[in-house]
Structure 1
Amino acid sequence: MVGFGPYVLLHTLGEGEFGKVKLGVHTEFGVEVAIKLIRRGSLDDEVRASKVEREIDVLKTLRHPNIVRMFDVIDTEKYIGIVLEFAGGGELFDHILANRYLKEKDAQKLFAQLISGVDYLHKKHIVHRDLKLENLLLDKHRNIIITDFGFANRFNHASDDLMATSCGSPCYAAPELVVSEGLYVGSAVDIWSCGVILYAMLSGYLPYDDDPNNPEGDNINLLYKYIMTTKLNFPDHISPLARHLLQMMLVPNPEHRCTVQEIMVHPWLSAHA
Structure 2
Amino acid sequence: MFGPYLLLQTLGEGEFAKVKLGMHNDTGEEVAIKLIRRQSVDNTPRINKIGREISVLRTIRHPNIISLFDVIETERYIGIVIEYASGGELFDHILAHRYLRERDACRLFAQLMSGVHYLHSKHIVHRDLKLENLLLDRNRNIMITDFGFANQFDSSTRDLMSTSCGSPCYAAPELVISDGLYVGTGVDIWSCGVILYAMLAGYLPFDDDPSNPDGDNINQLYNYILATTLVFPDYISPDARDLLRMMLVPDPTKRCNMKRIMSHRWLRPYAPMFQYSIEDLEVRINGRYCITRILGPTVTLLTERA
Shorter-chain TM-score range: over 0.9
Q: Percent identity at matched positions? A: 72
Write the distance in 2 (CA, Å) between the matches of 1:139 and 1:159: 36
CA distance in 1, matches of 2:168, 2:12: 21
1:125 pairs with 2:123: yes
Provide the rounded CA distance (Å) in 1 between the counterparts of 2:15 and 2:173: 24
Matched, 1:208 2:201: no
How far has the Cα of 1:218 moved from its partner?
Answer: 2.2
Query: What is aligned with 1:195?
Result: 193
Q: What's the offset of the Cα at 1:18?
A: 1.7
| Aligned pair partner of 2:42 in 27, 44, 48 | 44
- Counterpart residue number, 1:155: 153
Could you say which residue in structure 2 is the equivalent of 1:137? Answer: 135
3-state DSSP class of the match of 1:4? coil
Measure, in 1, the Cα distance between the counterparts of 2:229 and 2:219: 17
Higher relative contact order (CA 8 A, sep 6+): 2
Aligned to 2:274: none
Q: Distance in 2 between matches of 1:190 and 1:220?
A: 18
Give, in angstroms, the shift of residue 219 of structure 1: 1.3
Deviation at 1:88, TM superposition (A): 0.4
1:20 counterpart residue number: 18
Provide structure 1 residue ranges, at least 5 long, that are not aligned to the other structure: none
Q: What is the TM-score when the length of structure 2 is the normalising length?
A: 0.88
Change (3 A) 1:34 1:204: same
- In the alignment, which of 59, 80, 83 is matched to residue 81 of structure 2? 83
Measured in 2, the distance between the counterparts of 1:134 and 1:7 equals 25
Structure-1 residue corresponding to 2:264: 266
**The residue matched to 1:63 in structure 2 has which SS?**
coil
Q: Is the 1:171–1:218 Cα contact (8 Å) retained in structure 2?
A: no
The structure with the greater share of residues assigned to helix is 2
In 2, Cα distance between equivalents of 1:18 and 1:250: 32
- 4+ long deviations beyond 4 Å: none
2:218 to 193, 217, 220: 220
CA offsets 1:148-174 (integer angstroms, 9 cap, x no match): 000000100075210100000000000
Deviations 1:67-99 (A, max 9, x none): 000000001010000000000000000000000
> What amino acid sits opposite 1:115 in the alignment?
M
Task: Specify the SS of the correspondent of 1:172.
Answer: coil
Q: Give the paired residue count.
A: 271
**Structure 1 CA distance for aligned equivalents of residues 14 and 148 of structure 2:** 10
Distance in 2 (CA, whole Å) between partners of 1:161 and 1:94 is 32
After superposition, the CA RMSD in angstroms is 0.7
Deviation at 1:217, TM superposition (A): 1.4
In 2: Cα distance, 1:185 partner to 1:12 partner: 36
In the other structure, the counterpart of 1:184 is 182
Measured in 1, the distance between the counterparts of 2:149 and 2:215 equals 21
Deviations 1:21-70 (A, max 9, x none): 00000011000000000100011110000000000000000100000000
Matches within 5 A, 1:224-235: 224-235=222-233
CA contact (8 A) 1:203 1:235 kept: yes
Structure 2: distance between partners of 1:217 and 1:107: 25
Q: What are the Cα deviations for residues 122-170 of structure 1, in whole angstroms up to 9, with x where unaligned?
A: 0000000000000000000000000000000010007521010000000
> Could you tell me which residue of structure 1 aligns to residue 289 of structure 2?
none
Describe how 1:41-120 pairs up with structure 2 within 5 A. 41-120=39-118
Q: Which amino acid aligns with 1:137?
A: L
What is the CA distance between 1:19 and its match in structure 2? 1.5
